[in-house]
Structure 1
């Protein structure tokens, strides 16, 4: 006998469906939505709303573990913990590091990604190492270089095809050819930690790059005589824009400018969360750097620069609604379907549509998480 989720509303791609029933098939996929009470087992969430599981395409760690630890047990802990943030799919994200360590991390994830429980690994995001030193942020400049196609191929081979996204600085020599090569391998290219001009960004996106990483952070800003990377992120219509909406990385008005200029259908919420996420105030590390977590931020001990975030994605959703810059429907879409579309995984996550894996979240009227389901089974409950 089929199972149905009964709720007050359902957040679909183009609209919010009112009170009704959503079928969960025995194989863990969504069936049809109906307003008529069906025959079957009813799970009553009549006071709550249902949305697609969130998709975090830029996250380094959680609960004391970091992707760069190259520890599969740590990756399992991250996957196990992320449903408490509403996340059901994610891209484990690396940092700028030695080519050998990146190769080892790719190999470790590639060997295990398909059978880790909890939030589903949908690919690997290589954040670096082909960046510019001027906007290094919390990335280690000693490993930065011009992009090398051979290294990307090696990492992808080691990952058994799991590399999904790589970020580069487009002003580095050979970037356009590298972007074209990556796209030929079905790897999405993002622009980050860069001092590029608007024209260099335009050439990169014309070659196939399609994502601006954590807009405003780690990039040349907007100037009236040189629009720079921020100007490109605001105006190039084919690209997607990442935003860290923790209230520290980007002012709410600045986030609204991105959403208004570029469109909420092309703006995605990410966390850039590092290992200290979920641990409260503490001392921590990011890559080879010491970090202090205090007052809601993670900062490098030596410079005070922001070192990723401790943001949970459901909190980012709540923030943009609370700031009055997005509706609940827009906010949830920016944290699920839009990031999935940015890296071509919207065929397996980010929707409540029939036939999709039944990965979804249960929310109250304040968008506070009540439960997270994966493949139709409750994985986290408040």
Structure 2
């Protein structure tokens, strides 16, 4: 049976509306929107002091609830998809770490064979973070698996994934990176640039070959200098590319986040979590890939002498609240950066990231302080804070 959501504010793709009624159709899709003075007949679910936003889309997430994509266990992946509903995420891209060809291929097969069976947040694709990286900015990636891009590996992975490999991140200075980027983007897969000591020119060459994203901008890349702009300068200044950004307050200082968002505009910044297996878990000892990690004081760090940040324990609903609390964007832009922009940047915005007629009714109920109140998936309430 269809019903209507009544709320204080609706964040649609191209406009924000005050008050009114949003139809959820019998087949659990978004229907028509009616203004406040056009009260429709039918069942009304009232959220008159709250806001309705599209479900969030996390396009860079490694783990949650003690599980990791690299565990290559479908039941654990599905538990992650269920847990993501508690963070306002209704669509996601399971994200790998650098690994051997065979290990990554096995993960492609597991997700390619099962993704349609997810009972929580929908799996819209796979994101490979690596393995074509360089050592200087390796972060928590394992350099023993670093290598030059190989189009034959990509073709086999994509076949195993049944076409679900949507995004692959690489270092532009690797031999063959430009040629690989050209072939992969012509195949419709997004190439992102990261974990790299590349010069501005090397990054620019890959962008001009088709790369359209930067991986967790500022983190794991050559810094901005006024004579050598580096990877950060390329991420900030190149036209039309989208930049991932981790807004937990630890990976990027809020005013650095503000500088990037203002230079790119919110339409080209995708909020991500880069969350590892300790997400939604207590502090303590964990593992990321093959490396021991300690989680405390809001961060996940390697246990070695580097103490590098090792992913995050950020929830995407907290990221949208943070950027508003830091006074660097409006609620409208914060929501867009974690839904529409994230989906668009990974070329899955035909299926998620916006409230549009005919789309799956995946949406959030937010309080006016940007905190999450409720998550709906396919028109059904699945999580209440």
Q: One fold, TM greater than 0.5?
A: yes
CA deviation profile, 1:185-235 (whole Å, cap 9, x unmatched): 211100010111111111111111000010110000001111000000000
1:30 aligns with 2:30: yes
Distance in 2, Cα, partners of 1:58 & 1:323: 22
Specify every segment of 5 or more residues in structure 2 that has no aligned partner in the other structure, as ranges.
none
Q: Secondary structure at the match of 1:139?
A: coil
Q: Find the aligned partners of 1:136 and 1:367 in 2 and give their Cα distance.
A: 34
What is the DSSP-based 3-state SS (H/G/I as helix, E as strand, rest coil) of the residue aligned with 2:86?
helix
- Aligned pairs for 1:1-382 within 5 A: 1-35=1-35, 36-302=38-304, 303-382=306-385
Whole-angstrom CA distance in 1 between matches of 2:13 and 2:284: 39
Query: Structure 2: how far apart are the matches of 1:108 and 1:344?
Result: 22
Distance 1:373 1:351 in 2: 14
Q: How many aligned residue pairs are there?
A: 382
Q: Report the Cα offset of residue 148 of structure 1.
A: 0.5
Q: Counterparts of 1:350 and 1:158 in 2: how far apart (Å)?
A: 26
CA RMSD across the alignment: 0.8
Shift of 1:280: 2.5
Which moved further from structure 2: 10-19 or 285-294?
Answer: 10-19
**Partner Cα separation in structure 2 for residue 120 and residue 185 of structure 1:** 23
Deviation at 1:16? 1.4
Q: Deviations over 1:287-338 (max 9, x none)?
A: 0000000000000001211000000000000000000001100000000000
The offset of 1:13, in angstroms, is 2.2
CA distance in 1 between partners of 2:370 and 2:55 (Å): 13
Q: Deviations over 1:345-377 (max 9, x none)?
A: 111111111111110000111111111111111
d(CA) in 1 for partners of 2:70 and 2:101?
Answer: 12
Residues 218-260 of structure 1 deviation map (CA, whole Å, 9 limit, x = unaligned): 0000011110000000000120011100000000000000001
SS at match of 1:55: strand
Alpha-carbon offset, residue 183 of structure 1: 1.3
Which runs of structure 1 show a deviation greater than 4 angstroms over 4 or more consecutive aligned residues? none
TM-score normalised to structure 2 length: 0.98
Deviation at 1:94, TM superposition (A): 0.1
Q: Distance in 1 between matches of 2:371 and 2:251?
A: 22
Task: Mark the runs of 5 or more structure 1 residues left unpaired by the alignment.
Answer: none
